[in-house]
Chains A and B, each alone.
Chain A
């Protein structure tokens, strides 16, 4: 039976800005089952990365709760948090910016082991680093090279090896393949799939690329301006998207098939400002089906069929 590994409840993360409160993540709730992948999609500025980081408490939440294996991690002390971080890791988008340029590959991958005082003996530690490098497909000879000497695909493998060093149960993958060419992107996606199968990992996979997310995820959550607007299994979401935003988003993907004919739903305008948003559906200004009901009251996330959640007054 499916067992919940992570539960996010009414998570909010606001940032203070000169113009007012920026609602980056606004009342988001969802669960992720052990061994599964939840894809989180949305366009730039929708709050998907902030959500990922707040779940790991890399950013302190404004309010809400995150339960990891039943423990409310926002109530933990820094020491307790450090202990639980071993189980919760992150892979960043930009393999160029997320690695210390002055450390060698071996030092970067070994760093979590040093910081957590897991393997004090340097020789044994190096052994473990070599094992990790093998796991992610990095040749042994790179152990003493620096990140700038390697290409983007290999750098992303370092990031994955570093995340794997603590033998985590859960990894937030924040756009892990967006900076890579397609042929390299496929290599990294395959690696993440293999590791998940082998080690029973649970992923949150944050991306703006819908064909990647569909390939990679069991469930997909769609975010718009800080809010979760729809969540369903990948098959269901692609077959029967209910939220007008999800429908437009899916129809906007360019499909590499010349026989593919699809009516494209073109949206008016662009993302509104997330600063001091008014109550009401945040997608309403761009929505093709907007009615008076959409203004004034924020639609709730309703479960319309088992596992399929939609936040739209018209559904």
Chain B
């Protein structure tokens, strides 16, 4: 699997990450052995439903998991050769907002209501770069212009902006120090479609301009198709299928991924009934044995409830965690249309 050529360009590598939320007696297994790597300038989608562990994985990179109850119980996160999980709080602070930035879902709550937007952008710049206050403020105005807001509005407060504008301000803050890695957690979920289109377009332009690598957390496969290079499908704290856009959209293999696609109303084919995945997401404090997806899977056999599937590589870029793709398990997937 190791490819020498791309090795040099790896910006981020996560190996076997395990994160729990531990409260009296109850352990919520949020992330159960996630491994991923991201190349420079590429965008990776983390796709999954509520509780799949997408946000926890992202927050681990910045060590923003609230502890207690959150505990990183295993694995490593390497960025540009640095083992981030060994970093002190002080070292992490020098990275957050500088090398790694994050855009949160809700622009209404991720800005400070009592500081002007200019001050909030300038703050990041002053913390990470040796510049005077005036220089930082000047840069803040430039950042506002960059995301399509008149620099003259730097003195205004968040409540004076609409939702789409606020998210642009958040993007300006995230990009102010030209980060190597940008983590976007459902950045457009709170926005209307026409505004979403504007914001996605803006992010795309800025990413191309600065060669920023990005992790895009989303549940919207439409956004994935438009903005991402690679896709990791998460379920119950694991990546159950990973590949390039083409692998995931055209060579869909995991029954869960297939189920996700079948759940979407298709603009081109109306009238048919949707084919939802039966049942519900499992309780992460009491995950099913074997393959976590087996209680909801149409193809599950007895073995699926006892044996954990391993990564099976279908090509250099595409892997799946499903016993149907391992030899001699007796599990088969009868291909259905769709």
Highest count of chain A CB atoms <10 Å: which of B192, B259, B277: B192
User: At the interface, yes or no: A264 with Cβ under 8 Å from chain B?
Assistant: yes
Cα-based distance from A216 to B201 in the complex (angstroms): 29
The answer to whether A186 and B275 touch across the interface, beta carbons within 8 angstroms, is: yes
The reply on A29 being an interface residue by CB < 8 A is: no
On whether the beta carbons of A214 and B270 are closer than 8 Å, the reply is yes
Q: Cα distance A26–B147 when bound, in Å?
A: 34
Determine if B194 and A248 form an interchain contact, defined as CB atoms under 8 angstroms apart.
Answer: yes
- Assess whether A141 is interfacial by the CB under 8 Å rule: no
Known contacts A44-B192, A182-B49, A260-B225; A270 and B165 CB within 8 A of each other: yes
Nearest Cβ distance between residue A117 and chain B, in whole angstroms? 37
Instruction: Kindly list chain B residues whose C-beta atoms are within 8 Å of the C-beta of A199.
Output: none
The listed residue (B192, B219, B249, B266) touching A211 by CB distance below 8 A is B266
B263 at the interface (CB under 8 A from A): yes
B162 proximity list for chain A (CB < 8 A): 270-271
Centre residue among A44, A182, A214, A260 by max chain B CB count within 10 A: A182
Could you give, for residues 233-250 of chain A, a 1 whenever the CB lies within 8 Å of some chain B CB and a 0 otherwise?
011001000000000110
Interface range for A: 35 or more
Tell me whether A256 and B280 are in contact (CB under 8 A): no
Q: Which residues of B contact A267 (CB under 8 A)?
A: 194, 197-198
Known contacts A190-B274, A256-B224, A270-B164; A238 and B194 CB within 8 A of each other: no
**B68 in the interface, Cβ–Cβ < 8 Å?**
no
Whether the pair B266, A186 counts as a contact (CB closer than 8 A) is no
Q: Which interface residue of B165, B276, B277 has the most chain A CB atoms within 10 A?
A: B276
**Given A43-B193, A270-B164, are A189 and B265 also a contact pair (CB < 8 Å)?**
yes
Closest to A235 in B: B270
- Which of chain A's residues have a CB closer than 8 A to the CB of B280? 151, 153, 184
Bound Cα distance A270, B198 (Å): 10
Complex CA distance for A258 and B226, rounded to whole angstroms:
7
Chain B residues near A271: list those with CB within 8 A.
Answer: 162
Contacts A258-B225, A258-B250 hold; do A253 and B193 have CB atoms under 8 A apart? yes
Q: Is A149 an interface residue (CB 8 A)?
A: no
| A81 close to chain B: CB less than 8 A | no
CA distance A212 to B220 in the complex (A): 13
A-B contact count, CB below 8 Å? 115
- B223 close to A (CB within 8 Å): yes
Give Cα distance in the complex from A290 to B314, angstroms: 53
A181–B225 CB distance below 8 A: no
- Tell me, yes or no, whether A15 is within 8 Å of chain B by CB: no
Determine the residue in chain B with the shortest Cβ distance to A151: B280
- Whether A187 lies near B276 (C-beta < 8 A) is yes
B72 on interface, CB distance cutoff 8 Å: no
Please, how many angstroms separate the alpha-carbon atoms of A260 and B281 in the complex?
30
- Residues 195-222 (chain B) with a chain A CB within 8 angstroms: 195-198, 200-201, 219-222
Kindly identify which residue among B165, B224, B261, B267 contacts A214, using a CB–CB cutoff of 8 Å. B267
Residue-wise interface mask of B (266-302) relative to A, using a CB-CB cutoff of 8 A (1 in contact, 0 not): 1100100111110011000000000000000000000
Contacts of A264 in B (CB 8 A): 197, 201
Residues of B within 8 A of A256 (CB): 220-222, 224-225, 249, 261, 264
Does residue B245 face the partner (Cβ distance < 8 Å to A)?
yes
B50 at the interface (CB under 8 A from A): yes
Contacting residues of chain A (180-208) with chain B, CB-CB under 8 angstroms: 181-187, 189-190, 193, 208
Q: Tell whether, in the assembled complex, residue A266 and residue B260 are in contact, meaning their CB atoms are under 8 Å apart.
A: no
Q: Is the CB of B265 within 8 A of A252?
A: no
Bitwise, A248-288 to B at CB < 8 A (1) or not (0) is 11011111111010001011001100000000000000000
Scoring B residues 84 to 111 as 1 if CB is less than 8 Å from chain A, else 0, what string do you get? Answer: 0000000000000000000000000000
C-alpha gap A256/B218 in the complex (Å): 12
- Chain B residue, CB-CB nearest to A238: B267
Interface residues of B in 168-205 (CB under 8 A from A): 192-198, 200-201
Contact B274 A253 (CB under 8 A): no
* Residues of chain B contacted by A249 (CB below 8 angstroms): 193-194
A182 touches B260 (CB 8 A): yes
CB pair A183 B259 closer than 8 Å: yes
Q: Assess whether A43 is in contact with B224, with CB atoms less than 8 Å apart.
A: no
Interface string of B12-27 (1 = CB under 8 A from A): 0000000000000000
Q: Which residues of A contact B226 (CB under 8 A)?
A: 254-255
A-B contact pairs, 13 of them (CB 8 A): A43-B193, A181-B49, A182-B264, A190-B273, A190-B274, A238-B267, A248-B194, A254-B196, A255-B222, A256-B220, A256-B225, A258-B250, A260-B225
Top 8 nearest A-B pairs (CB, nearest first) are: A254-B222, A215-B265, A186-B276, A256-B221, A43-B192, A186-B263, A252-B197, A186-B274
Q: Could you list which residues of chain B lie within 8 angstroms of chain A, going by C-beta atoms?
A: 49-50, 162-165, 192-198, 200-201, 219-226, 245-246, 249-250, 259-267, 270, 273-277, 280-281
Extra contacts, 6 of them, besides A257-B249, A266-B198, A271-B162 (Cβ < 8 A), are: A44-B192, A208-B192, A252-B194, A252-B197, A254-B220, A256-B224
